Amino acid sequence: MHAIVPPYLLAALAAAPADRFPAASAAARATLALPRTYTPTRAHLDLSVDGGALVVSASPDPDRLVSDAQQREELPGVPARAEGAEPTGDAAVDEAYDGLGATFAFFWQAFERVGLDAAGGPLLATVHFGRDYDNAFWDGTRMVFGDGDGEVFTGFTRSVSVIAHELAHGVIEHAGGLVYQGQSGALNESVADVFGALTEQHLRGETAGEATWLVGAEIFTDAVTGSALRSLAAPGTAYDDDILGRDPQPGHMRDYVETSGDNGGVHINSGIPNKAFHLVATTLGGNAWERAGRIWYLTLTGGSLSSTATFTDFAAATTATAIAEYGEESEEAAAVRKAWDAVGVTGDVAVG
């Protein structure tokens, strides 16, 4: 399932001593036990012919609807704020509404993509899901946010990178999908992290050099020793807590984790392509979505990427995209090649 908090982190919290995080430990156990249904969708386009030309009808304006589950585990919940409506005063509702808008604006302004399905489909979200629910996830049609337990996790709508990460799973699905298992699943998570970080940078007007490159920096309470869920700049350093453990993400193929858990380590090994993207973006400089992000986006949506792509496949595909867009001898192509070499996916130091 496409959830922002990995199962291994929730499992660590569920096993926490009762005197440390009693509410959070119970919330983590309940979150792990609650099943989620995933419903994949595809784009629906309105096509017409004008003077012999095929016309795709799509609006560049978002169509948002945020609903309130009222702490029930039922979707979609009660409509709380529709497109164009004034703020409600409910922080989760209004933060989700703004986060949906920031994500829509990023994909439109950076890549001229109209919504998750590229056809102006609605952006749906549900807040206040469950009681003390410790996660946020994409269910195939909508974003769903828990309120957190208050001891370890705060409300998940506070983080634009979390909102955009989960919505990016919808973009990935509509682009053809990356099977959520093993390396293709880690690429799925990595691409979502990339677009989550880029959406936040776009909203803040940050360059690659100015950005924190953190995902989920706002969702931990002060009781946690850590800065975020993940770091694209330095995988494995986002948190190091006596209860939650240490961020297990590797940044190089020599540290690749073989595991049957977490769908083959999709939230763990995603650190390797995350680091590769960070290297490309910081090497090129400027706004990361303009060149590095464009290469990743065109690779994802170009139609040639297999749904079971490995890291090596994705490295070759991004390199080919960079060459097609900027030229064989361009600094963009060189940056992509160098980045995949640096994380051990390609080159003489490649492992796995």
Residue with tokens 């609903």: 67
Distance of CA 174 to the CA centre of its chain: 15
Residue 336 near residue 319, CB atoms below 8 Å: yes
DSSP secondary structure of 16-32: S-TTT-HHHHHHHHHHH
pLDDT at 61: 86
pLDDT confidence bin for 19, thresholds 50/70/90: confident
Is the pLDDT confidence value at 299 over 50?
Answer: yes
* pLDDT at residue number 330: 98
In the chain, count of helices (H) and strands (E)?
A: 10, 12
pLDDT value at residue 347: 82
The pLDDT of residue 201 is 98
Q: How far is CA 165 from CA 99, 169, 269, in A?
A: 11, 7, 16
- Looking at the predicted structure, is the pLDDT value of residue 35 above 80? no
Which pLDDT score is estimated for 22? 84
Q: Kindly indicate the confidence band of residue 50, based on its pLDDT and cuts at 50, 70 and 90.
A: low
Q: Is the pLDDT of residue 41 over 50?
A: no
- For every residue of 54-95, DSSP letters joined together read EEEE--SS--EEEEE-TT-S-SS-EEEEETTPPP-S-HHHHH
* pTM, full prediction: 0.86
The answer to whether residues 199 and 164 touch, using CB atoms and an 8 Å cutoff, is yes
Whether pLDDT at 259 is above 50:
yes
Q: What is the pLDDT of residue 16?
A: 82
Q: What is the mean pLDDT of residues 249-272?
A: 97
Token look-up 């051990």 returns 344
pLDDT band for 37, please (50, 70, 90 cuts): low
- The mean pLDDT of 258-268, rounded to a whole number, is 96
Alpha-carbon torsion, ordered 267, 268, 274, 279, to 10 deg = 170
Arithmetic mean of pLDDT, 11-31: 82
Indicate the average pLDDT of the chain: 91
Catalytic residues: 166, 267
The pLDDT assigned to 95 comes to 98
Nearest-angstrom CA–CA distance, 259 and 264: 5
pLDDT recorded at residue 52: 59
CATH fold of 2-342 reads Neutral Protease; domain 2 (1.10.390)
Above 70 in pLDDT, residue 344?
yes
How much is the pLDDT for 18? 72
Cα distances (angstroms) measured from residue 176 to each of 4, 8, 263:
21, 28, 19
Give the Cα separation of 187 and 345 in Å (integer).
13
- The mean pLDDT of 329-349, rounded to a whole number, is 93
High-pLDDT (> 70) share of the chain, %: 90
Number of neighbours of residue 175 by Cβ within 10 angstroms:
22
pLDDT in tens, 138-177: 998 999 999 999 999 999 999 999 999 999 999 999 999 9
For residue 42, pLDDT over 50 is answered with no
At 231 the pLDDT is 98
Q: Give bridge partners of residue 49 from the DSSP assignment.
A: 54
Nearest CA-CA partner of 256 in 309, 199, 311, 218: 311
- Calpha distance 286→254 (Å, rounded): 30
Q: Which residue has the higher pLDDT, 45 or 183?
A: 183
59 confidence band (pLDDT: 50, 70, 90): very low
pLDDT band at 283 (very low <50, low <70, confident <90, very high): very high
Sorted by where each begins, the domain ranges of the chain are 2-342
Residue 261, burial from CB neighbour count under 10 angstroms (0-12, 13-18, 19+): middle
**DSSP-derived 3-state class of residue 136:** strand
